[in-house]
Amino acid sequence: MQVSEGRSFLGRFKYGDDLLLSLNAFCENNGITLGVFSVIGAVSSAKMGYFKQDTREYTECVILDETLEITSCLGNMSLNDSEIFVHAHITLADHNGKCFGGHLMPGAKIFAAEYHIKELTGAELNRSHDPETGLNLWPVRKRTEDRG
Amino acid sequence: MQVSEGRSFLGRFKYGDDLLLSLNAFCENNGITLGVFSVIGAVSSAKMGYFKQDTREYTECVILDETLEITSCLGNMSLNDSEIFVHAHITLADHNGKCFGGHLMPGAKIFAAEYHIKELTGAELNRSHDPETGLNLWPVRKRTEDRG
Amino acid sequence: MQVSEGRSFLGRFKYGDDLLLSLNAFCENNGITLGVFSVIGAVSSAKMGYFKQDTREYTECVILDETLEITSCLGNMSLNDSEIFVHAHITLADHNGKCFGGHLMPGAKIFAAEYHIKELTGAELNRSHDPETGLNLWPVRKRTEDRG
């Protein structure tokens, strides 16, 4: 879906706060309902989920209780049941360079987190239950609708 | 090279489709000849290539036949022999959080894939054979040309 | 902090050059003092640092002396003591798909590196010593200042 570009934000989240909740609060405080973001930095813990594609459940989890670099945290924000919903995937590295990744859940404590948040406007994307996958997803646009 | 900003697209690719071919088809359907993108989501398989820098060949491959989260898929689109060419690198995580990465090849089956595609305009970048590396690359600009 | 969008650059760094120093030189040559970037490509070596959150020191290092794909290199540029400072985190993959990540340091030799650099304007972000973490960080904005 074609969107317009809104405001752009660059900054740092607060030491000790939760990474996913910080992204969510930023959107709420700034009235962002659609956008994309990236974060780099470091955390002192992390919790990541994995969607079981066969049973259609987020049942698996990896919890890391150590200091890790955020080598990449990418995602988007849109509406889910009229509430802002941040969808973030993260790649982390331990101090031997070993990487861990997954769907970011609450539980990642910020050591330092530098964000770039790009608001998108001119359209509304709402997540709703997708029977094919069991996830809350955006509708897939027909090819003709993609044409800008 | 300095470029201008074109259209911006946010959306989801179709369940079951190939990730790289979906990116390519999106560009073709929307007349995009230059741009950058990011994707997060999940796949039920993946195929990645590696360029052997000594023999100058893409001979190595990692094929994964399992459900994986896309923690990051980043890249660009430009022209190669007048055809749109999508260059994508991907990082994936299995359900223990273990990461795999490489040059994305056809063979990654989409479970859910949310894209942000940013068209760039005002310039043309063409890939051509680069004798130094053996890859199809853009020309390296001289320093003075970089100046905006 | 809300920022405005400046120039946008897409291109390739020179074969054999250092990745971090190339990003730095690009900013200096083009007068960029604030921005964000992404890079994909390949290197023939890499050096990454890790901040020890307990002793507040960058003492640990992973040095890789092999050909690796850059699956993601993300970060930002801002001022540190009035000089341009590039903060880059990287995820790399070896030819078995195994990933390595960390804080990019000088020592990553470019095989091919395709960048997208986005200048941001209308604000100034300066790094300074942050006593809480021991890092050179941007100030954390109060909630009211985030409001655009």
ipTM: 0.94
DSSP state for residue C25 in the 8-state scheme: H
Q: Read off the pLDDT of residues B127-147 as tens digits, 9 standing for 90 and up.
A: 999 999 999 999 997 654 454
Contact C103 A70 (CB under 8 A): no
- Which helix (H) or strand (E) covers residue A89, if one does? strand A83-93
C142-C143-C145-C146 Cα dihedral, nearest 10 degrees: 120
Half-sphere exposure of C45 (CA within 13 A, CB side): 12
For residue range A61-85, what is the model confidence (pLDDT) as tens digits?
999 999 999 999 999 999 998 999 9
A88 touches A101 (CB < 8 A): no
What does the mean pLDDT of chain B come to? 93
Closest Cα partner for B105 from B24, B13, B38, B40?
B24
What band does B85 get if pLDDT is binned at 50, 70 and 90? very high
- Give the pair of three-digit tokens for residue B135: 């890859």
- pLDDT at position B56, please? 87
pLDDT digits (tens, 9 = 90+) for C87-103: 999 999 999 999 999 99
pLDDT in tens, C104-119: 999 999 999 999 999 9
Q: Phi and psi (nearest 5°) for B134?
A: 85, 0
C62 touches chain A (CB under 8 A): yes
Mean pLDDT of B45-49: 97
What's the pLDDT tens digit per position in B93-123? Answer: 999 999 999 999 999 999 999 999 999 999 9
Give every CB contact of residue B137 below 8 A, 6+ residues apart in sequence. B127, B128, B130, C12, C112
Six token digits for residue A75: 């995602």
Specify whether the CB–CB gap between A50 and A100 falls below 8 A. Answer: no
* CA C54 – CA C42 distance, rounded (Å): 33
Q: CA–CA separation, A43 vs A112, rounded Å? A: 7
Helix (H) or strand (E) holding A74: strand A68-80
* pLDDT of A147 above 70: no
Q: Given B5, B48, B76, which is nearest C97 (Cβ)?
A: B48
In this complex, the chains that touch C, judged by 3 or more CB pairs closer than 8 A, are A, B
Q: What is the mean pLDDT of chain C?
A: 93
Partner chains of A (3+ C-beta pairs under 8 Å): B, C
Tens-place pLDDT, residues C1-44: 999 999 999 999 999 999 999 999 999 999 999 999 999 999 99
The pLDDT assigned to A142 comes to 65
Q: In residues, how long is chain B? A: 148
Q: Is a pLDDT exceeding 90 seen at residue C147?
A: no
Two structure tokens written together for B28: 């073709």
Residue C11 contacts residue B1 (beta carbons within 8 Å): yes
Residue C80 touches chain B, beta carbons under 8 Å: no
Task: Please state, for a pLDDT cut of 70, what percent of chain B lies above it.
Answer: 95
Cα separation values, C34 from A29, B34, C30, C79, C86, Å = 24, 24, 11, 7, 9
**A90 near B CB under 8 A:** yes
Under DSSP, the state recorded for C124 is -
Residue A20 scores a pLDDT above 70:
yes
Q: Are strands B126-129 and B68-80 parallel, antiparallel or unpaired?
A: parallel
Task: Give the nearest partner residue to A103 out of B29, B69, B92, using CB atoms.
Answer: B69
C20 secondary structure, DSSP code: H
Query: Does the CB of C60 have a partner CB in chain A at under 8 Å?
Result: yes
Structure-token pair, residue B29: 């359907």
pLDDT for position B54 = 87
